[in-house]
Structure 1
Amino acid sequence: MSVTRRSLLAAGAVAFSGALGPLFASGRARASAHGYGPLLPDPGGLLDLPAGFSYRVLSRAGDPLRSGEGTVPSHCDGMAAFGAGGGRVRLVRNHENRADAALRVPAVDGLTYDPGALGGCTVLELDPGGGLAAERVGLAGTAVNCAGGRTPWNTWLSCEETEDRAGASGYARDHGYVFEVDPADPHRLGAVPLTAMGRFAHEAVAVDPYRGVVYETEDAFVRPFGLFYRFLPARPLGGPGSLRAGGVLEALRVPGVPDLSVVDRPGAEFPVEWVRVPDPSAAGTPIRFQDFGPGGITHAQKLEGCYWGGTGVYFVSSYARGSEGAAADHHGQVWSYDPRRGRLRLEVRFGPAADVRLPGDSPDNICLAPDGGLMVCEDGGGEQYVFGVTPAGEVYPVARNAQDIGGPGAPAWGEFAGVTFSPDARTMYVNAYTPGTTFAVTGPWR
């Protein structure tokens, strides 16, 4: 993203191409046209925020875990917050560790899937005052745990963003699965892959709280690009462990649209079809390469954030680049799917053909904001922001990563990830991926 565009963003609100009003018509008050005001430099050099906001560092990679199980792992990624009673909050935090990670998720008996894999989750418990009271391993021995999603029964689905098999990268078992984590008692569910949900480079999931359908994104940045999936559980809304009972995995087909990047008009809607995945285990061929019949299947580059809001599911295509094989260029899309109507709709499109003031450098993790809009984590080049998006489609900066991890004369900043809000909507939690840092942000949230 250019310096000019970033300078404009730091000054206040701008607008997307498109509007989110139809998505979040909740009757809640909308944010003002100027968000929370310009970001102010942090004297501590960690997190720039608007006036009236403050942060607390909850956890940093390399610090000791309160449980004594080892150190806080690196690469803090997807996250969700759960009420724990009495004003306490539990955060489940992914660690996107590959085989070369400096700080692995410690292997713990009963919570480790593959001792050769370094990723997983940690669970932070916060006291009623917002301070860190406990921190422990929730899942270990998994690989490249990127994002995931919460379930209606208050567990976390952690996704492996890899297709590596046993024998690759020092792994003893196949990877590319979803794992369910119970934040209240991780040993209750252990480390069991949900194999029926498919083996592919998972990014995020969202569960329909009315029907129990699980929607999944596939983060593939080389052709053939990833797919958007739905999993029809044999025991929908069955509670902790119910997804182990299996089900049917299907992939989205938009007739006549093999690549979602070609859609450039926000508000455009399409009827869809759902096609059964021939081999969810990808035993011989990765799913996105498989034969889906005469109509083919619909792909999209870098499918990332996924969440349920209101009556539908929303997901992000982080970018599309013609130079990498995409049918058209964009710097990010937000899509919605309404299962009642069976319609797919493009809600928001980020540049490059749109106004140069638009934030448009690879949106990634997203969540609902207290005002009914969105919070969007940026994962691109240059400075890294958390943006707010009002239901009217106005965009404003919320936070900027001030931790310079570059070398002399070559500043660099790590992406944001895992944005989520406390159950009372008074605190925003977010991770700086590198250096791994978990923040709690308080202030006059609307």
Structure 2
Amino acid sequence: MRKAFKYRLYPTKPQRKDLERTLYLCRQLYNAALQERREAYRKAQKTIGFYEQKRYLPEIRAELPEYGRIHSQVLQNVIDRVDKAFQGFFRRVKQGQTPGYPRFKGERRYDSFTFPQAGTTGIKIQEGGKRVLLYGIGSVKVKLHRPLEGRIKTATVKREGDDWYIIFVCEVEPKPLPESHEAIGIDLGTNPCFLVTSEGEKVEAPRYYQKAQAKLADAQRELSRKKRGSNRYKKATKQLAKLHRKIANQRKDFHHKIARRLVNRYGTIVHEDLNILGLARSCIAKGVQDAGWGQFLQILAYKAEEAGRRVIEVDPRHTSQDCPVCGYREKRPLWVREYTCPQCGARQHRDVAAAINVLARARTEPSGVSTAQAVSSFLRSPVLQDSLTADQNGESSRRGFCDRG
């Protein structure tokens, strides 16, 4: 399998200029290749492909000396990006989606260049991992905060604000964890709990974006007062972008930690197959986007694959309306967090019951134990009763799962 490793670069001022120049030239080539395809089809109804455009790269490097300092494979990757943009456009047209014709890249819209065969050309690790040699740039200081594993396949140099990073994609051998027969169902939420398990354990939603809204509002207000295009406007733009990057990094760190704890402990993890894109356009859009469910599930999936665990998606319909003991269905408003089933009399927490139903739909219970028996025994357990008591007393919902680590 392939795994990405992202490290911070610390270029000198001349190296920064060289990196910016490389991005500028790659962006110019991207826009030129895009323009050539557009004009060929508009004037002659002719489609130009990847190999036809790639064939002219040696001539471009010969006529324009500035491109001679950029590795040939980096330039080939630029043409490949244009080709993939058109492939995505035609795929969306066939699927009946909003196609989105490929657009030209502005100055701050092209932030990376890639060495497609970094393991053999263009990249070399130096001084025991303290520096990396980049073709056309020189030896750049790098901080390998974790060991680089496997065989390097590609390397991408990326600009994020004023910072530079290098991302290695490596071919690694999976490292399965010791076998675990434990299964867990999880119910994702926004407030107050980000995640509730079928065992009654809860993870409080950090709400990084909502907590930083005051700072973001101040930064946005300062930006609105600056003249567009001025140096002060550019400085305020960078400050606002820096705040958004911090929020995104905090959220990603939180997702990695929670996913790792789940994967280390359980052999099977079951979650709802949510329509996240649709929910992100609903009345709860801010909470859904702040929680970052899509990113979390993606991280959970690849960590589980690497560890030899299973992640199962189930139908999300009626998981919070069905009684996990008797199956009685009753619609309840969202503000009802705990209730007593009118048919069987079982006292339940809404999110815990939903997580139990998620687990039951995947049929992950041990052989010989029915879903009803497993759920009934859990509903009588002290874990759930403690959870209900804590909610009634207004205590914090950050329990068990986070404390165990």
TM-score, structure 2 length as denominator? 0.20
Structure showing the higher helix proportion among its residues? 2
TM-score, structure 1 length as denominator? 0.19
Which one scores higher on RCO, CA 8 angstroms, separation ≥ 6? 1
**Could you say which structure has the larger radius of gyration?**
2
